[in-house]
Amino acid sequence: MSMAKKLQRLKKHIVREEPPASKQEPPEGIRFWDVWESAGAELFELDGEYCITRETHYALDAAHGFYTFKDAKKTIDQWSAFDSYHPLSAKGFQPSDLFFFDIETTGLSGTGSVIFLLGTARIHENQVTVKQYFLPSPGNETALYAKFLQETDYTTLVTYNGKSFDWPQVKSRHTFVRDKVPALPAFGHFDLYHASRRLFKHTMESVKLVNVEKGHLGLERVNDVPGHLAPIIYFDFLERGDPEGVLQVMKHNERDILSLITLYTHISRLVLDERALVDDQTALEVGKWFEASGNSAAAKESFEKSTASRQEEVALDAAFRLAMQLKREQSFEAAVSLFTRVRESNGDRSIEAAIELAKVYEHKWKDIPKALRETEWALEQKLEKEAITCALEHRLHRLEKKLSK
């Protein structure tokens, strides 16, 4: 065999040493890159602009507060069995369709406010991935939004006050680079701030995320950078280049995002499983949420249970709301029974109940004396609104005329 053929046969057994991968060099102006690298940061470059990205992973059995991320995944899947409408329903979604989203900015509003950190978390099959996109200086927003939009193929955002703050800020800053980056896609939006106000306002003065964490999620932050210091830390970074403080802000942002997963899990369980309800007032608030969402059947079921509450205020509010539903359903006997219970309590809703009784007696049962009695009783109470007094006086005169005929 010729030497050429022998070499050809041995060729496939030759192991070549690959040249070492070239180390990523930071652009001029980004100092302390070794600190960034030790924190798991990477660079993204686009047409001479840069952003810094960081990715963190958590196992599904890792806990954040009262729940693990596996609990979150299971809860999102449970929405598929929910037959009614609810504003936070994830029915038809996969857990990975939800993008938990939070930002850090240099100010609260205005065109001069810059977003310097975009953070997202996503629940995958085997892990939770947190991705953060950092602006090393204000002149690099094209790279920041290009990278963010390239990797965030979201269906639904989950935020905390994101409808009023986070996303309007993103839209505002995106306008400056929209000719160079992809358009902002359409998406659904679950804003957990409004959900927290609805469910927890009776238990706390402020529903700031950190307060909700402590009061309802089993979380208390230790060694956390307060959010209001984030702009100061960013401006210090722009001056000195040292990322130590910024990395703490990124950790704060990461905690915020992970708390959104826990909070969505907790609120979903309050809606989906009555066994998760810890007090009667919260149970009533869930029913009121169904009512406001137009889900009458679920609201009615919730109010029926709340009328048995040992807390009189809760029971009477539920009774009035249930009576209103029964009235709309033409179930007047049952409605009048509940309205009477509320009226005789002399509670906060007794005047409203008397007015509703007068309406039923007059218009449905043609019982003018009873309608007149309820109207007179209501006028004898301390009425705070002049409009209510005028309406009742008008009703009284009409009823008196009917009775005199």
Residue 16 has pLDDT above 50, yes or no: no
**Residue 251: what pLDDT?**
97
Length of the chain equals 405
Helix (H) / strand (E) element for 123: namely strand 115-123
Average pLDDT for residues 254-279, to the nearest whole number? 94
Give 302-324 pLDDT, tens digit per residue.
Answer: 999 999 999 999 999 999 999 99
Average pLDDT for residues 22-32, to the nearest whole number? 71
Domain residue spans of the chain: 33-274, 295-348, 354-405
Average pLDDT for residues 326-350, to the nearest whole number? 96
Candidate from 21-35, 197-211, 286-300 with smallest mean pLDDT: 21-35
User: What is d(CA 211, CA 67) in angstroms, rounded to the nearest whole number?
Assistant: 17
User: Which residues have CB under 8 Å from 248's CB, separation 6+?
Assistant: 225, 233
Helix (H) / strand (E) element for 127: namely strand 127-134
pLDDT-derived band at 7 (thresholds 50, 70, 90) equals very low
What DSSP assignment string belongs to 70-91? HHHHHHHHHGGG--S--TT--T
Residue 2 has pLDDT above 80, yes or no: no
Give 139-198 pLDDT, tens digit per residue.
Answer: 999 999 999 999 987 789 999 999 999 999 999 999 999 999 999 988 889 999 999 999
User: Which residues have CB under 8 Å from 134's CB, separation 6+?
Assistant: 41, 51, 52, 53, 54, 116, 117, 144, 246, 250
Answer for the pair 223, 122: CB distance below 8 angstroms, yes or no.
no
**Residue 14: what pLDDT?**
44
Residue 42 has pLDDT above 50, yes or no: yes
CA 47 to chain centre: 36
Give 97-155 pLDDT, tens digit per residue.
Answer: 999 999 999 986 655 789 999 999 999 999 999 999 999 999 999 999 999 999 987 78
pLDDT-derived band at 372 (thresholds 50, 70, 90) equals very high
Answer for the pair 271, 86: CB distance below 8 angstroms, yes or no.
yes
Residue 21 has pLDDT above 80, yes or no: no
Residue 13 has pLDDT above 60, yes or no: no
Task: Output 404 or 261, whichever has higher pLDDT.
Answer: 261
> Class assignment of domain 33-274?
alpha beta
Spell out where 196-245 has E strands: none
Residue 57 has pLDDT above 90, yes or no: yes
Amino acid at 142: T
